[in-house]
Amino acid sequence: MGTLHKYWLVMNPYDIEKRVNEMASQGWHLKKFTWIRFTFEQDEPGSYIYRHDELERFGSTYEDEYLDFLKSSGIEQVDRSGNFVFFRKPAHEGPFELYSDKKTKISNLSKKITLLSLILLLNLFFGITGLVSISGGQHTDMLKLLLNSTNILIVMLLVGPILKLMRVRKNLKKELDVFSD
C-alpha cells in the first residue's frame, strides 16, 4: 500500500471534492487532510465516493446529532480540519448526498467570497499605492518593486477563484429558488 501527498488550497470545496473523487477512481483514497495537504493511500479503484461538508454547528449538540445520524446511515467520517469535513461511503451502495441545506452552503460560500474579496482589495490597494510611490522617484528600490508586484500578482490569482465561487453560489441560489417555488 502506497501513500501519496497532494497540495491543494481549499478555496473552492466543490473542486476539491471533485479532485478527491477523481483520485479515488484511480485507487487513491483520502486518509487525512489539512487546508492545503491531502494524504491518500492506495486501495481498490473506485471503492468509495467522497463528499465534503462545512459544519456550521461546530461545537454544538446539533453537530453531534448530525454526525451520529450520518454514521448510522453508513457514512464514514474520513477526517476533519476545522469545520471542513470529508465523508465517504462505499461506491457499491450508490451515490449519496449530505444533508446540509442550500442556505447554509450559500452562506458558507458568501463568507469565503467576502474574505477572498477583502484579501484581493487589500493587495490591490497596497500594490497600486506602492507602485505609484516607487514610480515618483529617480532611484527604483527593487525590493519594494518586487513586493508591490507580488501584491498585484496575488490580485490576479484571486480573481478566477472568486468568480468561480460566485458562479457556484449563483447556481445554488437558482436551485434554491426552483425548489422553494
pLDDT tens for each residue of 33-46: 998 899 999 999 99
pTM listed for this prediction: 0.71
What's the confidence (pLDDT) of residue 7?
93
What's the confidence (pLDDT) of residue 181?
43
- Grouping H, G, I as helix, E, B as strand and the rest as coil, residue 100 is coil
* Element of type H or E holding 50: strand 48-54
Strand partners, 6: 38
pLDDT tens for each residue of 85-101: 999 999 999 888 876 66
Strand partners, 28: 42
pLDDT tens for each residue of 142-170: 888 899 999 999 999 999 989 988 998 89
